[in-house]
Structure 1
Amino acid sequence: MDRTVVLITGCSSGIGLQLALRLAADPSRSFKVYATLRDLSTQGPLWEAAGAHGCPPGSLKTLQLDVQDADSVAAARARVTEGRVDVLVCNAGRGLLGPIEVHSAEAVGSVLDVNLVGMVQMLQAFLPDMKRRRSGRILVTGSMGGLMGLPFNAVYCASKFAIEGLCESLAVLLPPFGIHVSLIECGPVRTAFQGKVQDGLDAALGSADAQTRDLFSQYQRHFEQVFREAAQDPEEVTEVFLAALRAPKPALRYFASERILPLVRLRLADPSGCSYVAAMRRAVFGDKPAEGPEGAQAEAGAGELGRPESSAPPAAPK
């Protein structure tokens, strides 16, 4: 029987690396995994882990692929020896943390290019063949930062909000072609991602005003607490990808953790946005709830966040 051909972007570490291993080493031996990396010099940890996991020969292959470069995407597609990709996993991503006024145009453009334009280029490369074959699955690493605005993550959230609209639009369009799109919505995950988004940030903060720097310090303390208490391991998140991949009728969204659901529900419950903004400010910056009916709504939302059995305070995304 033909194996399911899976191509994954962003496999140098974190979720991409763990998902590639999980599929390549699956006891069913039903997957052929193409793990792609922007820089093949970083593939060492992947192959070391593949040996430790006992991945059978031929179950895993690495390819160079930079989602920002259409020629690189096309070259990777041409190296898929089966001539098809059954499951496309769009996992490559880039973050940007800090006050919006300190970001360079280059940094902003890079985040949008990788997270949004890069994903569009991947879809343009692989979707036409899926349509011709009337079969395919597209799994996307989503984020709570695509479902709600997070302080000091404005550009990252903008890119992830755009991905939500992109995927939702395709989810409406593609079922007649036998193609399903699923977002795996992640909260905090223990990967190298957080370290990368903070590179060079201290120097940039010097150009921000004192009050903004103080608010950023509060945000950092809040994030560190949430990360200690609620962050997931990539191995846990990969099981959610597997559930979406194997579902007979995949949903559009799967949540890696139920902890983010109270905030999602709060945004939907009050379309004005007032309750969510108040609850987020209270959780991150310790604001007191406002007076009056709107304040009561905000207080209720923040109270939901405080129950450890159902949620945790919001944090920076994956």
Structure 2
Amino acid sequence: MAVRVVVITGCSSGIGLATAARLAKDDSKKYKVYATMRDTSRKEQLVKTVGDALGKTLFIRELDVTRDESVEAFFSELYDEEGRVDVLVNNAGISFSYPLEGVSLDVHRQIMETNFFGALRTIHKVVPDMKKRRSGRIVNITSVGGVIAFPFTDSYCASKFALEGLSESLVAVLKQFDVHISTLPLGLIKTPMAESKGSNLEKNEDLVDEESLKLMQRAIASKQWQTVFVDNIQAVEQTAEVIVSVIEDPNPKLRYTNSEGTREVLSIKLNDVNGESTVAHQMKYFDT
């Protein structure tokens, strides 16, 4: 079997790092992994994790998915070197929660640029060749919040909904060319992104009424939040194994889940025609 060329975005930490390392250290050496990140000065942890695989089955490259010129330069160079991309894993993302009016429109745009347009840019670069070769896999890391939203994560959920919609629209078309696109709507993962929740993004508490701030804290402290997210938190290594299983699935599906808890939450939305169950689910975040 030929070595599969894999591109993964957002590999400086968390899911991207763990998945890149897992594929690069595969015993059969059937993957050649291009682990990308916006700032390659943050590569130390990945370098340490992959060890001898660096420069053999794993290569670190700079890629800022929010910049057209960065995406163009990366893929131009990669196609010159490899001639193809067999697997694309869109993992780069920003997690964020705060009352909508408490952040500027620029912040909302930044979230959408990274989580949605970032993935769209990379898909746009690989799809033509995948269709031509009639071969390829695209895996989009979305979120349970991309199928059923939760309070105070407005733009984050919107960006993940958009990525789910993009994938769902493409799936039947790409199947005509033996190219497969899948989403992985994850629950809470123990990663630096989950712990920071967009803490580096500018917020303005003065623009938010006191009641809304209290409601946000109430939602995060609720039994519903505990049940949906905290009780089902998954180690990053477990998530990497799920992503590998998606890549290797001989019968690719549109959507994969990573835990029973995630499946239960998604079933609310996917079986809810008129939205009543979805609203009832949302209201539970404010139960005392």
TM-score interval for Structure 1 and Structure 2 normalised by the shorter chain: over 0.9
Distance 1:247 1:136, change over 3 A: same
**Unaligned 5+ runs, structure 2:** none
Superposed CA deviations along residues 178-233 of structure 1, whole A, max 9, x for unmatched, are 10001112000001112433416796234311211111111232347865532101
Residue among 234, 251, 254 paired with 2:256: 254
How large is the RMSD of aligned CA atoms in angstroms? 1.9
CA contact (8 A) 1:98 1:201 kept: no
CA contact (8 A) 2:145 2:185 kept: no
Per the alignment, residue 265 of structure 2 pairs with 263
Distance 1:157 1:228, change over 3 A: closer
Offset, 1:77: 1.3
Matched, 1:243 2:261: no
CA contact (8 A) 1:24 1:32 kept: yes
Matched, 1:145 2:160: no
Per the alignment, residue 19 of structure 1 pairs with 19
Matched, 1:79 2:77: yes
Residue among 232, 235, 245 paired with 1:233: 235
SS of equivalent to 1:35: strand
Matched, 1:275 2:277: yes
**Distance of 2:205 and 2:236 partners within structure 1:** 30
Offset, 1:117: 1.3
Distance 1:77 1:200, change over 3 A: closer
**Distance of 2:272 and 2:134 partners within structure 1:** 40
SS of equivalent to 1:109: helix
Q: Which moved more, 1:180-189 or 1:213-222?
A: 213-222
CA contact (8 A) 2:228 2:261 kept: no
Per the alignment, residue 205 of structure 1 pairs with 205
- Structure 1 moving runs of 4+ over 6 Å: none
Distance 1:269 1:252, change over 3 A: closer
**Distance of 1:161 and 1:31 partners within structure 2:** 30
CA contact (8 A) 2:5 2:84 kept: yes
**In terms of Rg, which structure is larger?**
1
CA contact (8 A) 2:139 2:181 kept: yes
**Distance of 1:31 and 1:82 partners within structure 2:** 13
Distance 1:200 1:220, change over 3 A: farther
AA paired with 2:47? W
Q: TM-score normalized by structure 1?
A: 0.84
AA paired with 2:59? K
Per the alignment, residue 8 of structure 2 pairs with 8
Per the alignment, residue 63 of structure 1 pairs with 61
Percent identity of paired positions between Structure 1 and Structure 2? 38
Per the alignment, residue 296 of structure 1 pairs with none
Aligned residues: 284
**Distance of 1:168 and 1:226 partners within structure 2:** 24
Per the alignment, residue 123 of structure 2 pairs with 123
Q: TM-score normalized by structure 2?
A: 0.93
